[in-house]
Amino acid sequence: MKTALITGITGQDGSYLAKHLLDSGYKVCGMARRSSTMVDDRIHHLMDDISIHLADLLDQTSLMQVMEDTRPDEIYNLAAMSFVPTSWTQPVLTSEFTAIGVTRMLESARRIVPEARFYQASSSEMFGKVQSVPQNEETPFYPRSPYGISKAYGHWITINYRESYNQFACSGILFNHESPLRGLEFVTRKITHSVARIHAGQIEHFEVGNLEARRDWGYAGDYVQAMHLMLQQKEPDDFVIATGKTHSVREFCENAFACAEMPIEWRGKGMDEEGVEKKTGKVRLKINKKFYRPAEVDLLIGDASKAKRILGWEPKIQFPQLVAMMVEHDLKIVCR
CATH code, domain carrying 37: 3.40.50.720
Q: Are residues 118 and 191 in the same domain?
A: no
**Predicted confidence (pLDDT) per residue in 1-47, tens digit:** 999 999 999 999 999 999 999 999 999 999 998 764 566 889 999 99
Report how many domains make up the chain. Answer: 2
Domain shared by 149 and 272, yes or no: no
Report the CATH number that the domain containing residue 192 is assigned in CATH.
3.90.25.10
**pTM of the shown model:** 0.94
174-220 pLDDT tens trace: 999 999 999 998 999 999 999 999 999 999 999 999 999 899 999 99
116 and 29 housed in the same domain? yes
Is 26 in the same domain as 117?
yes
| 174 and 285, same domain (yes or no) | no
Same domain membership, residue 200 and residue 143: no
- The reply to whether 21 and 69 lie within a common domain is yes
Q: 94 with 195, same domain? A: no
Same domain, 21 and 70: yes
Percentage with pLDDT > 90 across the chain: 85
- CA nearest neighbour of 30 among 69, 58, 60, 61: 69
**Do the Cβ atoms of 301 and 135 come closer than 8 Å?**
yes
What single string gives the DSSP state of each residue in 67-104?
A: HHHH--SEEEE--S---TTHHHHSHHHHHIIIIIHHHH
Rounded mean pLDDT of 73-98? 85
* Count of C-beta atoms within a 10 Å radius of residue 167: 20
The mean-pLDDT minimum among 24-28, 153-157, 209-213, 261-265 falls in: 209-213
Range of the domain at 56: 3-179+217-245+300-316
**Are residues 30 and 114 both part of a single domain?**
yes
CA quadruple 174, 180, 184, 189: dihedral, nearest 10: 80
In terms of domains, do 49 and 152 share one?
Answer: yes
What pLDDT shows up at residue 290?
84
Asked whether residue 78 falls in the same domain as residue 224, the answer is yes
